[in-house]
Amino acid sequence: MALLEEEQTRELFMFHAFRDANHVTNDFKNISMEITKACGGLPLSLEILGCYLCDIHDLEIWKEALHELKAGRNITWGYDNELLWKTLKISYDQLNEELRDMFLDIACFFISFKKNMFC
């Protein structure tokens, strides 16, 4: 899967997260940039998370979603998020057994690394 460039990630997320981008406050623009970085340029995650947050106008909920996303946990703020995680899991489920094993090997390899080692 091809990753998007930084500008493309912002455009894709903003398109799905905000119906009227002209009335977005700086606080929401800033957290949107952080969310797009946390999604790592993956188009499906940007679309799903943008749609998921679209009708939520509480900045604290967006911050909680970012925190949970960075921690790799389910996003829970009182709404049913099963659809979000099922959709994000689609790409993994479509892999054959060999590719799933490779994915899990790579993902597990980095568990004990500190994030700043890659910056």
Domains recognised in the chain with CATH numbers: 6-93 (1.10.8)
Q: Where are the alpha helices (DSSP H) in 19-81?
A: 26-39, 43-53, 59-71
* pLDDT (mean) for 28-39: 90
What is the distance between the alpha carbons of residues 75 and 15, in angstroms, rounded to a whole number?
A: 21
85 — pLDDT class (breaks 50, 70, 90): low
Amino acid at 1: M
Higher pLDDT, 118 or 53: 53
What pLDDT, on a 0 to 100 scale, did the predictor assign at position 54? 87
Give the long-range contacts of residues 6-14, CB within 8 A, separation 24 or more: 6/36, 6/41, 8/41, 9/36, 9/37, 9/39, 9/41, 9/46, 10/36, 12/43, 12/46, 12/47, 12/50, 13/39, 13/46, 13/47, 13/49, 13/50, 14/50
Lowest mean pLDDT among 12-26, 46-60, 68-82: 68-82
Q: What angle do CA 6, 88, 16 make, to 5 degrees?
A: 50
Residues 6+ apart with CB under 8 A from 33: 10
113 — pLDDT class (breaks 50, 70, 90): low
The answer on pLDDT for 76 being more than 60 is no
